[in-house]
Amino acid sequence: MRDLARRIDAATPPGRDRALDALRALAILGVVLGHWLVTALTSDSGTLRAVSPLSRLPEFTPVSWVFQTLAVFFLVGGRVAAGSHTTALARGTSYRDWLIARLGRLFRPVAVVLAVWAATALAMTLGGVPWQTVHTLGRLVLSPLWFLLVFAALTAATPLVAKVHPLWPFAVVLHVDAVRFGLGGPDWLGWTNVVAGWLVPYCLGALWARRGVRERALGRTLLITGAAATVLLVVLAGYPASMVGVPGAAVSNLNPPTLAAVTFGIAQCGAAFVCAGPLRRALRRPAAWAAVALLNLGAMTVFLWHQTAMMAVTVLGLLASGLTGHGPLPGLHTVPDGYGWVLARLAWLPVFGLALLVCAAVFRTYEADGGRPSRARRPAARKQVRRA
């Protein structure tokens, strides 16, 4: 392992900002662990239904503050895309070639997961699996993909939005929410925030690439003001405290994004700026950097297949418990209605992780190089760290 870590460290370009890779990895892990903790599949009369623990255990709302990390992902995305586009222009690379290269690695693995799940859904339907179960599983696979469409759109618009100050999209979100909630405007107006809301951290990342920033000073300002604004919006303006959607709630902070979600994201971006320097120092160690680099090489695979891993463990556990007559397994098939469920779910997380490792081993190749034979991948192994 030490030799592998040293090889990865040696293959990394000296000028690479390792903090960006660490922040991206933390954002992906936040989404994965968040989904595993706030999504429960319960067995009801032979069908599987999705239930949110937050609807039954509101005291665990702070979990959503820790694991809703999308703003950090968009911050890093804006920083990397803006820098990449500037470099492409300097090299004489056309916008078309640059965009194809940026989006190719994004959508190849998406096409694979869609194809696999289309075949799986068809097989389940033909095999007599209840439609409610097929719908529940399919929805869990497809629902996280919305943010990839937004991310792809912002990536395509990088030459334009990279010059936009983050205050402009923030002003759009502010006015949309004022009309929607303050003046009784139509609910559909909130969908404007799907673009404007995520433009705030994306443009902040582009500003980071374009001008450079005093990371600690700006980070503290964003963290304090963003956190204070979020608290005021929740306490005084009636925004939900949860930063993810809760079934049955009148308003979701995430679907579509609200002003509270945006101010919360600003606070997260501030924390990312504050942590950037310490992360760079920590990642000088080859072992720490190797872990981050390897996760980034399969980041899309991890994101796309983490729900499948959880569902595979749940279904296999359901089949096993049925064969042995033990009934629903706590934390896996039972209703999340108490602290016992939380402790049991935490115990299942390593099993979900092992299932995800299996998925990554099978499908990682489609993210790396479009699925070419392994013989063609070996000479390029050193280059993969550069592309991560």
Sorted by sequence, the CB contacts under 8 Å of residue 364 that are 6+ apart come out as 297, 298, 301
3-class SS letters over 78-89: HHHHHHHHHHHH
- For residues 230 and 223, is the Cβ–Cβ distance under 8 A? no
Query: Residues for the chain: how many in total?
Result: 388
What are 66's two structure tokens?
Answer: 């820790």
Q: Residue 158 — φ and ψ, nearest 5°? A: -50, -45
How far is CA 343 from its chain centroid? 24
Sequential DSSP letters for 119-150: HHHHHHHHTT--HHHHHHHHHHHHGGGHHHHH
pLDDT at 43: 79
- For residues 176 and 192, is the Cβ–Cβ distance under 8 A? yes
Residue carrying the six token digits 């995305």: 77
Q: Say if residue 62 is exposed, middle or buried (CB neighbours under 10 Å; 0-12, 13-18, 19+).
A: exposed
What are 201's two structure tokens?
Answer: 């951290």
Q: Residue 128 — φ and ψ, nearest 5°? A: 85, 15
Q: What is the pTM of this model?
A: 0.90
pLDDT at 253: 94
pLDDT at 79: 95
pLDDT tens digits, 313-335: 998 988 887 777 677 888 888 88
Pick out the chain residues at pLDDT < 70.
325, 368-388
